[in-house]
Amino acid sequence: MISLSSFLLLTLLSSIFGTGTGFGTSTIMVPALSLFLPFSQALLFAGIVHWFGDIWKMIFFKKGLDFKLILLFGIPGVIISFFAGYLPIVIPESLLKRSLGLFLSLYVAFIFLRPNWKAKASSRNAITGGVLSGFFAGLFGAGGAVRSAFLAGFDLPKSVFIFTSGAIGLLIDTGRVSQYLLSGVRLNSQLSITLLLCLPVSLLGAYLAKILVNYVPQKSFRALVSIGLLLVGIYYVLLPS
């Protein structure tokens, strides 16, 4: 078990970088936590922190509301995430970690090779983005990266983009966290207390992201996070257990 200070630091950094880049707090937290916790517990812990992080995004970055876009992404996303959230319960952990490692490695390679790629803005692509985001969120806790790639095609202002991503993420996280709990995933008393202490830290991280996002180029944020995700991805592909 890692120390409380390590949990708090991870939550703070994940919230800052996950919020600022659009990758999502959970995309960063799950690979790190699963190095020390059972995969299902890492998903639940990060999922709850991310659920609150979605709320912080909506509070700090509310500059506009595209209700139709939120529904197009969110409705299929919450349905798929609920069912995909059952897969980590039944799939062997070593296979899950290796699959997560492959997913992270391929995703990071793709964004480095195609840094300007974004899906065309359309209702069909919004629904597709919601389905894929929900699936990868439920399975790996890594739906934010996929969601951002599809959402970028709609050319939203930065603050509106983060708010919209938070609203969609809130729906998707509700689906997957509900499934984890219904499937019997639980945190012990020590982890539960740690989780409670991490929530205000995630609020601080979201606030700092709001400040930094206007001063630090997003490409710098994304490059730093991508390198970290790639290293974890390679580790899991080679040494998943």
Whether the per-residue pLDDT at 240 is higher than 60: the answer is: no
Is residue 139 within 8 Å of 44, Cβ to Cβ?
no
> Does the residue 120 lie in any domain?
yes
Instruction: State the Cα–Cα distance between residues 212 and 227, nearest whole angstrom.
Output: 20
> Does the residue 41 lie in any domain?
yes
> Does the residue 129 lie in any domain?
yes
> Does the residue 241 lie in any domain?
no
DSSP 216: S
Instruction: State the Cα–Cα distance between residues 130 and 175, nearest whole angstrom.
Output: 12
3: tokens are 């120390």
Is residue 11 within 8 Å of 201, Cβ to Cβ?
yes
Closest CA to 90 of 172, 192, 187, 180: 180
> Does the residue 189 lie in any domain?
yes
CA 28, chain centre distance (Å): 7
Query: For residue 217, what pLDDT band results from cuts at 50, 70 and 90?
Result: low
Which range scores top for mean pLDDT: 82-91, 201-210, 221-230? 82-91
> Does the residue 100 lie in any domain?
yes
Q: Say what the pLDDT of residue 193 is.
A: 95
If one counts the domains in the chain, the total is 1
What's the rounded mean pLDDT across residues 137-142?
91
Host domain of residue 213: 4-236
Q: Which residue has the higher pLDDT, 64 or 59?
A: 59
Instruction: State the Cα–Cα distance between residues 65 and 7, nearest whole angstrom.
Output: 33
Closest CA to 57 of 83, 81, 24: 24
> Does the residue 79 lie in any domain?
yes
Q: What is the pTM of this model?
A: 0.89
DSSP 154: G
> Does the residue 188 lie in any domain?
yes
Give per-residue pLDDT as tens, 105-121: 888 888 788 777 777 88
Whether the per-residue pLDDT at 76 is higher than 90: the answer is: yes
Q: For tokens 């979605």, name the residue.
A: 54
Single-letter amino acid code for the residue at 132: L
Instruction: State the Cα–Cα distance between residues 82 and 87, nearest whole angstrom.
Output: 10
